[in-house]
């Protein structure tokens, strides 16, 4: 079945799309940030983050065979030995304390020539904590339900009547 196979197609065949994404990732790892269209930035983000995860795993292990294995996996996907070397030797240590979110996308607006939405994708700095979540407002006191009220609310209020005095009786009409 072909369910959920339509993400980030970019209007390209598979081989061409893989080459474009690998090229964008190479530029991202080499320069740290690149400007491209928004759809290409969204397509390269999961690809780049998986490669950075390979670099992290290689940096965390002591086994040389595992390090070589992750490096070869990255080279097979990125297709540029120099970019992978720079990522694995220089940049991997920056991301050791991060659990994910190694890239950030900024929307820049429409391109003048063809109106395509452009974006800037960059590698997040190691010390960058990102945005703090806003505090939620304090909850108000719960209101009483309208369906069933408590007995104290339903209890009738006793109204004291004034003592009945002898009301003047009108004389019978003749």
For the chain, which residues make up each domain, given as ranges? 14-123
Fold assignment, 14-123: 50s Ribosomal Protein L17; Chain: A, (3.90.1030)
Token digits for 92? 């991997």
Check residue 142 and give its pLDDT: 77
Which pLDDT belongs to residue 148? 58
Q: How confident is the model at residue 45, as a pLDDT?
A: 97
Which segments in the chain show pLDDT lower than 50?
none
């Amino acid at each position: 079945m072909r369910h959920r196979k339509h993400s980030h197609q970019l209007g390209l065949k598979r081989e061409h799309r893989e080459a474009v994404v690998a090229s964008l990732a190479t530029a991202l790892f080499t320069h740290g940030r690149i400007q491209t269209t928004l759809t290409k930035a969204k397509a390269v983000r999961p690809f780049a983050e998986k490669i950075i995860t390979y670099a992290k795993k290689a940096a965390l292990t002591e086994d040389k065979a595992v390090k070589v294995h992750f490096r070869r996996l990255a080279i097979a996907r990125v297709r540029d030995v120099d970019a992978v070397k720079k990522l694995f030797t220089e940049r991997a240590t920056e991301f050791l304390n991060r659990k994910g979110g190694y890239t950030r996308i900024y929307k820049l607006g429409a391109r003048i020539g063809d109106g395509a939405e452009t974006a800037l994708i960059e590698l997040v700095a190691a010390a960058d904590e990102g945005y703090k979540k806003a505090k939620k407002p304090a909850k108000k006191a719960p209101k009483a339900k309208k369906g069933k009220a408590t007995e104290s609310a339903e209890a009738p209020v006793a109204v004291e009547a004034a003592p009945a005095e002898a009301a003047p009786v009108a004389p019978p009409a003749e």
